[in-house]
Structure formats: C-alpha cells, structure tokens
Structure 1
Amino acid sequence: MKNLISVIICTHNPRRDYLDRVLNSLKSQTLSKEEWEFLLIDNASERVLSKEIDITWHPKARHIREENLGLTAARIRAFRESVNEIIVFVDDDNVIEENYLKNTAEILQLNPYIGAIGGKSIAEFETEPEYWFHELGISLGCRDLGEEIKVCSWTQKDIENKKYPDFAPIGAGLVLRKTAFATYFQRIQNNIDGLSLGRTGKKLTSGEDNDIVMTLLESGWSIGYFPQLKLTHLIPKNRLTKEYLAGIKRAINRSWVQVLDMHGIRPWKKISRWTLLPRKLKAFFIYQAWKNEASYILWQGACGIFEGQANLFL
C-alpha cells in the first residue's frame, strides 16, 4: 500500500501518563500502519526518550533526537526527516480519535488545493477550571466550531486587505501538506523573528501556527476546518493556575502583534518603549488588576499587547 502520512510527535520532557494515552490512540488508528510512518522527535528532553519509550509496535517508527531546543526547531527537523506528502503533528497531550488519520487522508485527497487543516480539539481537564476561567478568552489549544466545514483562501484582494480566518488550524492535531509546508520552511529557516515564535522550553512565546497559516494563504494555498477530525486535549492542573494563565495571556498577545506585523497586518500603532510603564500602570487601574484573578490575567494580556507594539519597527 502507498505510504501516505507522516505522524509527528514533537516533545520536550513529556508527562508520561499523557504520552502513553497519545501513543495508545495512535496504535488504535483505523488507517493501516503500512500507510503511515511515525516519528517521535525528542526535543532535548532531560532524559533520552529512545531509552524509555517503546515504539517498536509500529513497523515504520523512528526515534529522532533534536538538541536545538524549541518547537520550531523540532518541526523543522520533522520536515527534513519525514518522507510522506501529508504531515500530521500530534502534540504529546493530544489523544486523537481512531479515524483521525483515515479522515485526514480522505480530506486531502479530495481537496488538492488545501495546504493545512484542523478540526475539533476537546478539553479534558485534570481538575475543573475556576469559575472565572471562561472569562479570559484563553483557549489552551481547545475548540469546537460545530459541524460545518469551513475553507478559506486569500485572493489578491484578500492579500491587500488581510484578515486572519477565525477557524484557521491550530497546533493541536495540525495537518499540513508537505509541499505547502515547504513554503513556510523556505521562508523561516533564515528568519530570526519567525524562528523565535515557537515555544522554547518553559518560555510561553507563541504565534508559530499563525505564521504557518498566513504563509500558506499568501502562497496561494487554502486552509480549512473539518469537524470529522477530532481529538481530546489533555489539560493538566498546572496550566490552570493564575500564574500560568497570566504568562500565557501576555505571551500570546505579544506574539500576536509580532506575527501579524510580519505579514503586513498592523491594527495597532507603534509605541515608544519609554511609554510602556505608564501604559501598564494605567491599564492596571482600568482592569482593576488587584480585584480578582481574571482581572489580573486580563491586565497581563494588555501588557503583552503594549510590549508587542513597542517591538514594532517604524
């Protein structure tokens, strides 16, 4: 049978019980193992994963050690190592449904103009979030956009007046056509700003997935949301703390300003760095950051926007 898909897990110091559930979901795929390869990219974990994690259950599995820390570095390595036209990035906390790979292959075979797709990512919380969590607008890589298929491409007019599609694929379960991913790879490998967008160790920077999506749209590819692609996103309790959520809100907003600007979208004006402190102090009172956890986290998000604006070039 034709080898169609490269399934990639990029992981750094994974939580083993979560990773075991992810691996079990791969073992249960209805698509024959003869039709996909499996690469486990150990991104500079403290313990060498090839010595601890058995992937011999798959006939086309490989352990790959990437010493350059960071999600972008791990994905670039995956691009170089994978041999198939379809790449499926499965995070080390993504439990994919049994038809995920079969559905992926069918969708891309029927839609040759689509370069990237995603689907539903349903949260499974280790502990129930606090009552104020849903006020924050932080998805933590989870979403359910309903049962309607959504597809987007940018015409020349769209490129001149770009708007990021709200149903664009996210990192959880991200599917890419390798020929489309190559356009991103060619642009990013010597782009310092782009290389800095992905998560690196404990740093919460983000924006890499948005960068990939916009690069593909600018290159003439379509992107889509397909609800038949479903996964469970495992959310540990340490990602629901005030400290973590404040850090991720700030980092996401700062990166959002940066990545939009990289693609010629600037809804915010450039601000002087010396104005950061007074702006943050003013926002502290506007958001009443002392009042409760949600107010504090939203204030941190505003600080991230200010920092992004200060980093813009004239």
Structure 2
Amino acid sequence: MSLSIEVAICTYNNALLLDRTLATIAKQQVDSSITWSVLVVDNNSTDETAAIAQRYIDAGTIPQLRLVKEPQQGLSYARICAVRSTDSELIAFVDDDCLLSPDWVQQAVTFFQEHLQAGAVGSRVKLLWEVPPPEEILPFQGYLSAYDRGDLPLQMPSVGNTYLVGAGLVVRRSALLASGWLEKTALVGRNGKCLTAGDDSEIVLRIRNAGYELWYNPAMQLQHYIPQKRISPQYLQRLIRGIGQSQPFLYVLGNRLQPNLAVRLSTCGKSMRYFSKVLTSIIYRNLFQAHPLTAERLLYLNHSLGRLQGALQLFLRGYQV
C-alpha cells in the first residue's frame, strides 16, 4: 500500500534559504506510485517568502505546491496549520534551511511502509556551515540539529526522555492525532526572533506515549545550513538557553509523570542544583584558578539558567501531559 506524504515547510523571514530548500525539493526522485505534495506555511514573514513560493508554484516543478499563511506567531502554530491543511497520512516537517538528498521523500515513504508501528521517524542530519565554526562550537553541534546515530536504522527507547530533531522529522498522521498534540500543545517553539525550543521533542514524546514507535532512519539524509550569524556567541547563548527552558517539561513528559506539586517541586530542586553547580564551577575557576570565562562555560551557564527558568514555569503553570 502506497502512503501519501505532505512536505510541510514552516517559515519566517528566511526567503533566501527557503529558495534553496525548494530547489532541492524540486529535484526529488519519487516513484510515480507515491502521492506527494508540498506546503509552505508562511508564519507572518515580511520578506520575499511569498514571492519565492509563488515562483515555484508558477514554474510547476514541485507537485501540488501550495502556500498558506498562519497569523499566530510560533513554530508550533505553523505546524498545526500544516497538519490541518492536509489529508496526507505522512507529514514531513522540513525546516526552511534544509537541503534534502534527491531520494529523501522516497526513503521516508518506504520506511513507513516497512515499519507499520512507526509513529515518527527522524533523519540523518549533517550541518552545512557557511563559514568554518570555531573549535569550541563543535561539542554543541547537536543544539544546531546535527543528528547522526550511525548507518543502520535505530529504534529509539520506549521509556525515558529521548528525541529526534525537528529538521526532517516525519510523522504518521494517525499517530499524531492519537497523541493529543493538537489539543495539548505546550511548547510553542521558535516565535519570531525568540529562540524557544523543544516543540519537536514534545511531538515525538507524545507520539511515543500514545503507543507508537520512534525511529532514526539514516537513509533519509539532509543538510542543515548554518549561516555565520548562528554561530555567534550571542546567538548560541540565546539558543541553548531556550533549549534548556524546554527540558523540565520534556523530562516530565518523557517519563510520563503527572505534574503534581511534588513532581514540580522536585524538578525545581534538580534544576536549581544544576544551575548552582555550573555557577559555582565558573566562580571557582575564575576567582581561584584565574581561568578566563570561556565561550563554552557561558553556554553551559545559559543552559543551566534556561533549565531553571523552565522548571519555574512548570511549577507555576503546570501542563497537560
């Protein structure tokens, strides 16, 4: 049985890279038995996004390419719009700065056909740097969506916290609906220039909690383009702080805990201890060992501060899990 697939590209003010992404999609080599289409979700862009998408629509090089607008700012809202704008059984969330290998769509559909219990499948993601990154950035590539778990497909753990990156994440529509994510979305994701995160991990964990399998498929290969501005210390600090903010909620969700008062207090305590440990280490190295405050230490500090903020948000608000 052939599955239909919708490639959904949610975008905000990234017209130049969107053009490159659409160019790789136009070169997809897909078996004629597979029904596939592409949807660009414009999340309030003020640049040439609409014009770029319309140019590809007029050219007719991408099957059933459409453009829709989502006025509510935030990546999760744009993804919800994509889900509600298609009837395809498979929905592929492709970032607007991803360059797909020519057989990516074909490999995605084939994998789901062969793994009937798969609810979400992640890609092998290599980073494509605009300029060579500083050495101290390399340990943090995962925060920029690098993802490589080897040359063989890998089923992710069925318990505990785990993740698949959102760049090139494909979900089964029935699994997504069963997960309740559409009704219970807690993490908004990127919101304009605000670098909040974790929304893709929320999707993945909710699907797994609904009884479906999570997989990594190395045959679905793509490159994630990293412009020079995204490796600046200021950008990375904001990014990693936003990722840290999502982690207390994802811990609760991944371990299927009810966010009652005891769990929320425990999460706050763990996050406070982590922040104190990182801060104490920095102070000790700086004051007593005369080590300068490195970019790496600043990233750890921002991550721990983000985790503390996320734990406080979880304590004050609670979430549906």
Alignment TM-score, normalising by the size of structure 2: 0.84
Q: Is the aligned partner of 1:51 residue 2:22?
A: no
Determine the C-alpha separation between the residues in 1 that align with 2:267 and 2:186: 22
Determine the C-alpha separation between the residues in 1 that align with 2:6 and 2:49: 19
Aligned partner of 1:293 in structure 2 is 295
Q: Is the aligned partner of 1:12 residue 2:12?
A: yes
* Cα-to-partner distance string for 1:2-34 (whole Å, 9 max, x where unaligned): 671111110000141x22221111111111577
Determine the C-alpha separation between the residues in 2 that align with 1:286 and 1:310: 26
Determine the C-alpha separation between the residues in 2 that align with 1:46 and 1:52: 12
Alignment TM-score, normalising by the size of structure 1: 0.85
Aligned partner of 2:169 in structure 1 is 174
Query: Residues 121 and 227 from structure 1, CA distance in 2 versus in 1: closer, same or farther, beyond 3 angstroms?
Result: same
The Cα of 1:105 is off from its aligned counterpart by 1.0
Q: Which amino acid letter does the alignment assign opposite residue 163 of structure 1?
A: G
Query: Unpaired runs of 5+ in structure 2?
Result: 258-262, 317-321
What do you get for the CA RMSD once the two structures are aligned? 2.7
Aligned partner of 1:113 in structure 2 is 117
C-alpha contact (below 8 Å) 2:18/2:97 kept by paired residues: yes
The Cα of 1:267 is off from its aligned counterpart by 10
Query: Residues 147 and 296 from structure 1, CA distance in 2 versus in 1: closer, same or farther, beyond 3 angstroms?
Result: same
C-alpha contact (below 8 Å) 2:268/2:315 kept by paired residues: no
Match of 1:64 among 51, 63, 68: 68
Query: Residues 271 and 35 from structure 1, CA distance in 2 versus in 1: closer, same or farther, beyond 3 angstroms?
Result: closer
Determine the C-alpha separation between the residues in 2 that align with 1:70 and 1:284: 34
Match of 1:258 among 249, 255, 258: 249
Determine the C-alpha separation between the residues in 2 that align with 1:268 and 1:223: 30
C-alpha contact (below 8 Å) 1:120/1:144 kept by paired residues: yes
Say which SS state the counterpart of residue 55 (structure 1) adopts: helix
Query: Residues 252 and 178 from structure 1, CA distance in 2 versus in 1: closer, same or farther, beyond 3 angstroms?
Result: same
Instruction: After TM superposition, list the pairs within 5 Å mapping 1:1-314 onto structure 2.
Output: 4-16=4-16, 18-32=17-31, 35-47=35-47, 49-53=49-53, 54-56=55-57, 57=60, 58-136=62-140, 138-152=142-156, 154=158, 162-165=159-162, 168-184=163-179, 186-189=180-183, 191=184, 194-263=185-254, 264=256, 269-271=266-268, 279=276, 282=280, 284-286=282-284, 288=286, 291-313=293-315
Q: Which amino acid letter does the alignment assign opposite residue 216 of structure 1?
A: I
The Cα of 1:203 is off from its aligned counterpart by 1.0
The structure with the largest helix share of the pair is 2
Residue identity over aligned pairs, in percent, reads 27
Q: Which amino acid letter does the alignment assign opposite residue 91 of structure 1?
A: D
Determine the C-alpha separation between the residues in 1 that align with 2:141 and 2:15: 26
The Cα of 1:153 is off from its aligned counterpart by 6.1
* Cα-to-partner distance string for 1:238-267 (whole Å, 9 max, x where unaligned): 110111111111111121112222454569
Query: Residues 232 and 292 from structure 1, CA distance in 2 versus in 1: closer, same or farther, beyond 3 angstroms?
Result: same
* Cα-to-partner distance string for 1:102-129 (whole Å, 9 max, x where unaligned): 1111111111110110121000101111
Q: Which amino acid letter does the alignment assign opposite residue 25 of structure 1?
A: T
Determine the C-alpha separation between the residues in 1 that align with 2:64 and 2:310: 43
Determine the C-alpha separation between the residues in 2 that align with 1:163 and 1:286: 34
Say which SS state the counterpart of residue 302 (structure 1) adopts: helix
Query: Residues 138 and 242 from structure 1, CA distance in 2 versus in 1: closer, same or farther, beyond 3 angstroms?
Result: farther
Q: Which amino acid letter does the alignment assign opposite residue 120 of structure 2?
A: A
Determine the C-alpha separation between the residues in 2 that align with 1:221 and 1:40: 27
Determine the C-alpha separation between the residues in 1 that align with 2:109 and 2:279: 51
Query: Unpaired runs of 5+ in structure 1?
Result: 155-161
Query: Residues 73 and 286 from structure 1, CA distance in 2 versus in 1: closer, same or farther, beyond 3 angstroms?
Result: farther
Deviates more, 1:251-260 or 1:89-98: 251-260
C-alpha contact (below 8 Å) 2:187/2:202 kept by paired residues: no
Q: Which amino acid letter does the alignment assign opposite residue 120 of structure 1?
A: R
